[in-house]
Chains A and B, each alone.
Chain A
Amino acid sequence: MSTAAPIAVGGVGLRSRKRSLRIQASIVAWLLALGVWQVATLVSGGWVPSLDRIALAFLEDLTTAQVWADIWVTFRRILVTFSAATVIGVALGVAMGLNRRIAAFFRPIIVIGLAIPDLVYIIVAILVLGTEESSGLIALVIALVPFVVNIVVSGVGARDQGLDEMSSVYRLGRRRYLLDVLGRQVAPALLAAARTSFAFAWKLIVLVEALTQPRGIGAQIYYSFRLLRPDHMISLALLFIIVLRATEAIVFTPLERRLLGWMR
């Protein structure tokens, strides 16, 4: 009499198969993108730089000290803008989420702030404050704050009111409530707000640098454009994207693991 073979159920095998499928899909997507790029190079008659030209420009930029100095200038500007926008946005967002009067006062301002194109902030700041470095940074902070506020207000609004009551009954106090109850509930929203702020800061800083500054990656990309060196424009952007992704992996991912580890 034959006995039925044991059936392998889910577990490690299924997980590793899913992971392998994800890696395969990612490789296919990359190859497809590179193939499309190469076709675009051929079709554009050389205006879209070929992959090998970009690779050579990348290696050249990678070994140029001036490029690293410019990366540091842009990175410092991003940090200043991101930090200011996150601190102001989170404070205002929490206040609006907890207090109806504050929310009623600031909501129309935030709605208008979200609707104004970022370029308008930059141009107005240049007209009012001149082409100093600070004018661009102030414009960017003003442009970013409404985005951060919007995300934080939604996070605070979606909190579990039952935990508010628990905190009140057990007299946890304001500090414990903000850190241990509210803070942990809105942590996913805060992380999303910080990531949004970081990503937008990079995109807008490059624009400000191209328009007003002699130094920074944005200024170098614009300089390469004026010299008709698209391969260097792309390689500079790639280099800075790698720096930003590394920052995200070093700062945001461990922070996320620490704050949201209990969900796993």
Chain B
Amino acid sequence: MRPELPTPAGPEGNGDYIRVEGLRVSYDGTTLALADLDLVASRGDFVAVLGPSGCGKSTLLHAMSGVLQPQAGEIEIGGHAVQGSMGSDAPLIGYVFQDHRLLPWRTVAQNISIVLHAAGVPRAEIESRIDRYLKMLQIDRLRDAWPMRLSGGQRQRVSIARALALQPAVVLMDEPFSTLDEVTARLMRQQLAELWRESSQTIVFVTHSIREALFLANRVYVLTKGPARVMEVVDIPIERPRRYEDPRLTDLEGQIVDRVMSVWGYGEPESEPTHKERQ
């Protein structure tokens, strides 16, 4: 018997700040990376997108950020359609890449300031924002350091500081802790959860770690193996602050593992009905 997962409350009632509908992406015109993918998030929501490696999770974020043009479907953020370059009044998007993507010829502070300059943040405010977010992420002593002199965890902190200092409406995070050691990753998850609680930002967090998704998010979209479809939407009814070792997270993790085992493994993705089909 299939274990009972918490039923999603239904995004419709929350007011959709992010709306992805029928998203279809193909890199070569024939092989699909995303197949009719739907996702919604309300303002201030923390949504995790969970899927096996290579299923198309990063492609989803690329499309949501406007870097990638989908073949079909619609993406709206804050009422603005995402199509390549959005208008100047479109909501700002922060992006934390898996591999930090800092400019190696700019110092930590300069890596943040270049983004703030481009976003039109007043000069007088730029320095104070840099100080604030570097302090928040406990890397203020690295203000004038070159990225190549930093550890992986420090670089990722800078990348997060860059995304948050922009004070964007939406932060897209692409497996930001996957290359870090487990202890650093746990600290960073804890820190991210606290930062999100203090802000009103909407976060879409992509990961292949079930526990990470359950620990961080309010709602988890479980994807099939590529081409990615939404297989399950799970609300996480656990109060915050959460503990990474919480037994309730372990229970939920076990249930999700049972569900995805055949779909993420070598079985045919089509063998499992999608979330849309079940509805």
Interface residues of A in 161-176 (CB under 8 A from B): 162-163, 165-166, 168-173, 176
Interface of A is mostly: helix
The distance from the CB of A169 to the nearest CB of chain B, in whole angstroms, is 4
Check A262 against B146 for contact (C-beta < 8 Å): yes
Check A169 against B104 for contact (C-beta < 8 Å): no
A60 interfacial contact with B, CB 8 Å = no
A180-B103, A181-B103 known; A172-B66 Cβ under 8 A? no
Report how far A173 CA is from B117 CA in the complex, Å.
11
Among A160, A168, A180, contact of B114 (Cβ-Cβ < 8 Å): A180
Check A262 against B104 for contact (C-beta < 8 Å): yes
A169-B67, A169-B95, A171-B85 known; A162-B118 Cβ under 8 A? no
CB closest residue in chain A, given B90: A171
Query: Number of contact residues on A: which range applies?
Result: 10 to 19
The distance from the CB of A253 to the nearest CB of chain B, in whole angstroms, is 18
Check A168 against B67 for contact (C-beta < 8 Å): yes
CB closest residue in chain B, given A168: B67
Report how far A173 CA is from B120 CA in the complex, Å.
12
B119 interfacial contact with A, CB 8 Å = yes
Question: Which of A160, A166, A173, A263 is the most central at the interface, judged by chain B CB atoms within 10 Å of its CB?
Answer: A166
A184 interfacial contact with B, CB 8 Å = yes
Interface residues of B in 204-259 (CB under 8 A from A): none
The distance from the CB of A75 to the nearest CB of chain B, in whole angstroms, is 32
Question: Which of B66, B99, B118 is the most central at the interface, judged by chain A CB atoms within 10 Å of its CB?
Answer: B118
The distance from the CB of B163 to the nearest CB of chain A, in whole angstroms, is 9
B276 interfacial contact with A, CB 8 Å = no
A120-163 CB mask vs B (1 if < 8 Å, else 0) is: 00000000000000000000000000000000000000001011
A173-203 CB mask vs B (1 if < 8 Å, else 0) is: 1001000110010000000000000000000
Report how far A184 CA is from B103 CA in the complex, Å.
9
Among A160, A168, A262, A263, contact of B66 (Cβ-Cβ < 8 Å): A168
Interface residues of B in 37-90 (CB under 8 A from A): 62, 65-67, 85
Check B101 against A165 for contact (C-beta < 8 Å): yes
Check B62 against A163 for contact (C-beta < 8 Å): no
Check B103 against A163 for contact (C-beta < 8 Å): yes
Check B119 against A166 for contact (C-beta < 8 Å): no
A166-B97, A262-B146 known; A172-B115 Cβ under 8 A? yes
Where the two chains meet, the residues of A that have a C-beta atom closer than 8 Å to any C-beta of B are 160, 162-163, 165-166, 168-173, 176, 180-181, 184, 262-263
26 chain-A/chain-B pairs, Cβ below 8 angstroms: A162-B97, A162-B99, A163-B103, A165-B101, A166-B101, A168-B66, A168-B67, A169-B65, A169-B66, A169-B67, A169-B93, A170-B95, A170-B115, A170-B118, A170-B119, A171-B119, A172-B114, A176-B114, A176-B118, A180-B114, A181-B103, A184-B105, A262-B104, A262-B105, A262-B146, A263-B148
